Amino acid sequence: MTSLLEHPRGAEPGKPGDRSAFSFETITRLPNTADGLGRDGARYGRTGIIHTPHGDIRTPAFVPVGTQAAMKGVLPEQMKELGAQCLLANAFHLFERPGEDTLDLAGGLARYMNWDGPTYTDSGGFQVLSLGAGFKKTLAMDVTGLKSDDVIAEGKQRLAFVDEDGVTFKSPLNGDEHRFSAEISMGIQHKLGADIMFAFDELTTLMNTRSYQEESVERTFRWARRCVAEHQRLTEARLGKPYQALFGVVQGANYEDLRRRAASQIASLDFDGVGIGGAIEKRILGQTCAWICDEMPEDRPRHVLGIAAVDDIFAAVENGGDTFDCVAPARCARNGAVFTRDGRWNIKRAQFKNDFSPIEADCDCYTCRHYSRSYVDHLLRAREYNGFTLATIHNERFFVRLLDEIRASIDGGYFDDYKRETLARFYANGSRG
């Protein structure tokens, strides 16, 4: 273990975590323009540094998702080598196994998984959607006329039930009943020990009715107040632990007034940052981020939950997103879909069987430096674990590097040119990514 993991900043024996160990500083801000989506033409895109007890995150940054405190098929050391600055794990799944007490005894998430850097945990709020309505994605192109509060994905069974106090889940592992509330989520996440955690929220679908979205925004606000109170209590009670930052989550679907109201509500509470979450129509992703940033203080970092399409990342960065997470790069990799500067394509096409070039000629990832398209194609077809590893390394490096280059373009004053050229090249052949 390194000294960073053993002795994180802001932790002293017998004392609560020092909140000053977490902070955010802005480096460069995109200039406003006549067509900027924020108030008075504001473009909230920026570069900055999130300071955490386990190290700094230079933003904008991509946050790879290791749901079970692990990237499937890829070691933490390999994630560090490909340039990942931080990782995100899932509080609900870690609660189910191995349990938050195990991670607490191990010294927290980073130490448990031997990750030398900052970590995030979500609150369990995503499972309100995934186990409730059965959907995995929160983005959609068009949901006109599709309104129902009882909507559920085809072939799925409802496993999450919301009430005023919290959510009752049925375990997808064994059917056991679990209860999550603001206080329970905070207790679990404090024991998991991530540098950044999220308030417990209700994630709705785009198909929910306007009246239900209104009720949900208010319920999420009430839960947010309870999360702040419990977070403050636990911070004072758990002596000798580094400070854990708490981000409030803004919901409101695709309604401007609800997004602005929710953002103002979250801004009024003592959060360290904000999560831009929930159901968002793809066509107004940038606009939605701008509405929220209009209502938020500039000194709080903004995390956009669950996006990894290249055009979505540019839209969110330009309108205020600082960090982004998504399972898509790794999930797509395991199915053979790889991301390159020239689009997303499936490496298991017949044309690559005897193609001994790298996945991408100018990619600096371990896979492209050592292995061919033919070999990765063979491994994936044979369902060999090494294929999952090599494809995942490439895809995660693609998104880490994309955000690194976006950050450099903002600092260098050429963001607009870089955005135009990158999107034109990536989507030239009709890529879905």
- Domain containing 114: what range? 3-326
212 within domain boundaries: yes
Residues 306, 245 share a domain: yes
> Does residue 149 belong to any structural domain of this protein?
yes
Total domains in the fold of the chain: 2
Distance in angstroms (rounded) separating the CA atoms of residues 386 and 333: 12
Q: Are residues 278 and 238 in the same domain?
A: yes
Identified catalytic residue from 294, 312, 322, 325: 325
Per-residue pLDDT of the chain (433 residues; tens, 9 = 90+): 455 566 689 999 999 999 999 999 999 999 999 999 999 999 999 999 999 999 999 999 999 999 999 999 999 999 999 999 999 999 999 999 999 999 999 999 999 999 999 999 999 877 766 575 544 544 343 445 555 666 655 676 878 888 999 989 888 889 899 999 999 999 999 999 999 999 999 988 888 889 999 999 999 999 999 999 999 999 999 999 999 999 999 999 999 999 999 999 999 999 999 999 988 999 999 999 999 999 999 999 999 999 989 999 999 999 999 999 999 999 999 999 999 999 999 999 999 999 999 999 999 999 999 999 999 999 999 999 999 999 999 999 999 999 999 999 999 999 999 999 999 999 998 877 7
CA distance 146 to 281: 13
Structure tokens at 257: 């007034």
Binding residues: 122-126, 201, 251, 278, 363, 365, 368, 394
Residue numbering of the annotated binding site for Zn(2+): 363, 365, 368, 394
Distance CA 156, CA 344 (A): 29
Residue 250, pLDDT score: 97
Query: Residue 168 falls within a domain, yes or no?
Result: yes
Residue 271 and residue 346 share a domain = no
What are the φ and ψ backbone dihedral angles of 74, each rounded to 5 degrees? -130, 125
433 vs 427: CA distance, rounded Å: 8
Kindly state whether residues 318 and 225 are assigned to the same domain.
Answer: yes
Query: What is the pTM assigned to this prediction?
Result: 0.94
- Domain-embedded: residue 425: no
* 8 Å CB contact between 288 and 259: yes
Alpha-carbon gap, residue 257 to 238, rounded angstroms: 39
Task: With respect to residue 429, please indicate whether it lies within any of the assigned structural domains.
Answer: no
Residues in the annotated binding site for substrate: 122-126, 201, 251, 278
Q: Are strands 160-162 and 166-170 parallel, antiparallel or unpaired?
A: antiparallel
CA 274 to each of CA 27, 248, 425: distance values in angstroms, whole numbers, following the listed order: 19, 5, 32
Sign of CA dihedral 249, 253, 254, 260: negative
Shared domain for 319 and 376, answered yes or no, is no
The verdict on 145 and 287 lying in the same domain is: yes
Active site residue 122: yes
The values of phi and psi at residue 351, to 5°, are -65, -15
Position 278 scores a pLDDT of 85
Residue 423 lies in a domain: no
Cα separation of 427 and 116, whole Å? Answer: 35
CATH number at residue 195: 3.20.20.105
Element (H, E) at 169: strand 166-170
- 98 and 132 assigned to the same domain: yes
Out of 104, 122, 312, 377, the active site residue is: 122
Q: Is 9 in the same domain as 153?
A: yes
Report the residue count for the chain: 433
Does one domain contain both 386 and 405? yes
| pLDDT tens-digit readout, 208-229 | 889 999 999 999 999 999 999 9
Same domain flag for 113 and 174? yes
Could you tell me if residue 431 is inside a domain? no
Question: Of 189, 268, 203, nearest to 234 (Cα)?
Answer: 189
For residue 336, give both structure tokens: 């053979």
142 given a catalytic annotation:
no
H helix or E strand, kind and range, residue 350: none
Specify whether 188 is located in the same domain as 261: yes
Q: Which of 284, 310, 326 is the last residue of a domain?
A: 326
| Residues 295 and 361 placed together within one structural domain of the fold | no
What's the confidence (pLDDT) of residue 252?
Answer: 96
Torsion sign, CA atoms 273, 28, 363, 359: positive
List the alpha helices (DSSP H) in 113-242.
126-130, 182-192, 210-237
Q: What is the pLDDT of residues 252-305, one digit of tens each?
A: 999 999 999 999 999 999 999 999 998 899 999 999 999 999 999 999 999 999
Q: Is residue 346 part of a domain?
A: yes
